[in-house]
Chain A
Amino acid sequence: MSAASTAREEMLRRIRAALSDVPTGEQPEEVVVARDYRHSEAVNHEEVVERFAERVAEYKVDVQRVEEAALAQAVAATCASHSVRRLVIPVDIPEFWLLPDVEPLRDENTLTYEQLDTSDGVLTGCALGIAQTGTIILDGGRHQGRRVITLLPDYHLCVVYEDQIVNLVPEAIARLDDAVHHYRRPVTFISGPSATSDIELNRVEGVHGPRTLNVLVVRRASRSHP
């Protein structure tokens, strides 16, 4: 028997010996887990969206609410105000999100770390938003690209559609079930720009991840682009 399989077998033997007080035949589900915490709240969606915008802003993030028709304008204006010219975008970002005055760097998994590091910023959509915690969730799905593109550029502009926002953490976890179970997608929770509290527990925004995060909360036009 190899050393590796010996270690595995011995650890399992130790664990089983340690658990001699657990009745044989007890199933894990027999250990009762009461999930009496909130899974939803009776609030209307406009309130949820408003709370999301507020809580994201509390992380010192610039949040704007815009109509879908004005999205490109908002993207252009926000980029201009942060002197962002060369903007990294995932390949599937719709044309109507952009105006000609930003220079898109489309990532088809082709941009090097160097190119990403020296770009001015990145524009993505997201998978979900959580109002309760002011969190944006990326899962590598539509309009998001691979993980590295939202990590190396110093500026991240994220588009969150109102109908992507859920109220509570459990609602978000439930909605991600398929992405993880089925597609094994990597998931990233983002709550504000990178930060540290390592010096005297004072929060300082901006360490290794993007130092600036901007969020556009978009109301979908009624005859919508899907």
Chain B
Amino acid sequence: MSVIIPPPQRRKPLPTFQASAKEALADTQLRRNLYKATHTIRAKRAQVVGEMPDWQELREAGRALKERVLRHLDTYLLQLEEAVQRAGGQVHWARDAQEANAIVTQIVTEHEAREVIKVKSLTTDEIHLNQALATHGISAVETDLAELIIQLAGESSSHILVPAIHKNRSEIRELFLRTLEVDNLTDNPRELANAARLHLRRKFLSTPVAISGANFAVAETGTVCVVESEGNGRMCVTLPRVLISVMGIEKVIPAWQDLEVFLQLLPRSSTGERMNPYTSLWTGVREGDGPQEFHLVLLDNGRTRVLADTVGRQTLNCIRCSACLNICPVYERVGGHAYNSVYPGPIGAILTPQLLGVENASSLPYASSLCGACYEVCPVKINIPEVLLYLRGRVVDYKQHHNALLNRVNPESVAMKLMARTFASRQLYEQAQKMAQLGQLPFRHGGVIDTLPGPLGRWTAMRDLSPVPRQSFRDWWRARQTTREGMNEATHQPSAETGKEGQL
């Protein structure tokens, strides 16, 4: 199997999440922006999900449909290919980013276009299509408002759905004043949106080639679906002569009927609306209506590696709604850039290490408190905490396998081995307890342990530790038995002292 599916490329590993998170946490403006945005969207989502008595049934159907697709992905992709071709479209297969970029560049070049318009697409961000086009002298104009904002600012996305979530209105106003040809502009969101409308109008009317992603593609009919709000998506899939859609292979769904599930799950989970303003569904090309040339690029780029992993496979269920980002207490504080990937938040913490290889993103599976909120809101029931834990295991395996010697003397691994031995033996465990009772005395202040020495100090830097109680449960139990035997009269209650301090 490993022969057929290539291992991840060796690359410069991503900066660690912990280091990037530290920087992000220092930015108080960022934290304010994120707090406001995530709490707004959480409330909206909760309301529209709450009004659906059959939400859990829809989630289960969505999950099951994705399972069906993934277990038979070859069948569905071939069916999709045939249906798209039958409807007058062309289908291309791309093993990796480079291949996909080459395909798109060639189509654009054949039409002698120097400029293309783009619908917001994570997949094209993932393969760095804009940069690839730029090296051939083709400029890609992002038409989604948030994508436009970050393109003008020369930044990268920090949220799946709202790439500029880290910017507030006055920051956007300043950016527009600097980069668009506008004079008078307040920070009223309506005025800001209008400035973008005017800026992009000419381009929509005159650009001959558009590039989009795809939210869903129906194998049965060859129908491709783009879900959006602003109308920039409709402009791109309707006005130009040529349309190129790049989709990850996992985006295929079996049948037209299945949209009844996903078109309910996605908008409510994503923007917290009953339905998003615009959903475009097109089937190949149609004479006299819309683009007369349609290309669908099917992208692997690491996805078959995710597919091969029976625990990680569920990650490919993702419909990119971003509910897991919005609910995540970690994301809410650090924002998207700390994840150093186009896929931030909980879903990114499991998807990125699988796409790039755990050795290239080994800190991401730890970018979580494992609270489980992401699993609860996921509309296709991806068990993110399960995959996080599993990937942590793979990170440890990798480190042990690749740094065998170094690892034997690594204090954490030595401590873990000692701990395992201690916990496995009653005698050792009780001895350790006694030692801890005595050893903790210098660090105990006001009923808690608040500073530990050496590397253990990293734990107490963030939180207090409960001390080992003076009398352990085992001691209490033994004392109780002895008393019972002696006096034949039970003392039912542990002493007030031990009762307050805890158990064990």
- Residues of A whose CB lies within 8 Å of any CB of B are 4, 7-8, 10-22, 26, 28, 31-38, 55, 59, 109, 113-114, 117, 130, 132-135, 140, 146-148, 151, 169-170, 172-174, 176-177, 180-181, 184-202, 204, 206-210
Task: From A31, A181, A198, A210, name the one whose CB has the most chain B CB atoms within 10 angstroms.
Answer: A198
In the complex, A128 Cα to B317 Cα: how many Å?
30
Q: Which residues of A contact B145 (CB under 8 A)?
A: 196, 198-199, 207
Closest residue on chain B to residue A21 by CB atoms: B310
In the complex, what residues of A have CB within 8 A of residue B61's CB? 33-37
Does B1 lie within 8 Å of A17, measured CB to CB? yes
Closest residue of B by beta carbon distance from A189? B279
Closest Cβ neighbor of A114 among chain B residues: B205
Question: How far, in whole Å, are A31 and B73 apart by their CA atoms in the complex?
Answer: 13
Q: Is B93 an interface residue (CB 8 A)?
A: yes
**A18-B307, A184-B87, A204-B190 known; A12 vs B77 contact (CB < 8 Å):** yes
Closest B residue to A209 by CB, please name it.
B231
CA gap between A12 and B60 in the complex, in Å: 28
| Given contacts A133-B275, A193-B277, A199-B193, A140 and B231 within 8 Å (CB-CB) | no
If the complex has contacts A31-B67, A36-B54, are A199 and B172 also in contact, measured as CB distance less than 8 A?
Answer: yes
**Contacts A19-B71, A31-B64 given; 14 further ones with Cβ under 8 A?**
A11-B95, A22-B71, A31-B68, A35-B57, A36-B60, A37-B61, A172-B260, A177-B257, A184-B286, A185-B283, A189-B275, A196-B229, A198-B230, A199-B189
Q: B289 within 8 Å of A by Cβ?
A: yes
CB distance B277 to A198 under 8 Å? Answer: no
Known: A11-B304, A200-B33. A194 touches B277 (CB 8 A): yes
Could you tell me the distance between the alpha carbons of A44 and B41 in the complex, rounded to whole angstroms? 34
Contact of A20 (CB < 8 Å), options: B1, B278, B300:
B1
Q: Which of A15, A26, A184, A189 contacts B307 (CB 8 A)?
A: A15
A190–B289 CA distance with the chains assembled, in angstroms: 18
Residue in chain A with minimal CB distance to B40? A201
The 5 A-B pairs of least Cβ separation, nearest first, read A209-B231, A18-B308, A208-B231, A194-B231, A133-B275
Interface presence of B139 (CB below 8 A):
no
| CB closest chain-A residue, reference B78 | A12
| Chain B stretch 193-229: residues in CB contact (< 8 A) with chain A | 193-194, 196-197, 200-201, 204-205, 220-221, 223, 229
The answer for the CA separation of A5 and B94 in the assembled complex, in Å, is 10
**B190 x A206 contact (CB < 8 A):** yes
CA distance A201 to B11 in the complex (A): 36
Given A133-B275, A191-B276, A191-B277, does the pair A28, B254 have CB atoms closer than 8 Å? yes
In the assembled complex, how far is the CB of residue B242 from the closest CB belonging to chain A, in whole angstroms?
15
Q: Does B74 contact A (CB under 8 A)?
A: yes
Asked if B389 lies at the interface with its beta carbon under 8 angstroms from chain A, I say no
Residues of B within 8 A of A169 (CB): 260, 263-264
A selection of 9 A-B contacts at a CB cut-off of 8 Å is: A14-B300, A21-B310, A28-B68, A146-B289, A174-B257, A181-B221, A191-B277, A192-B277, A199-B192
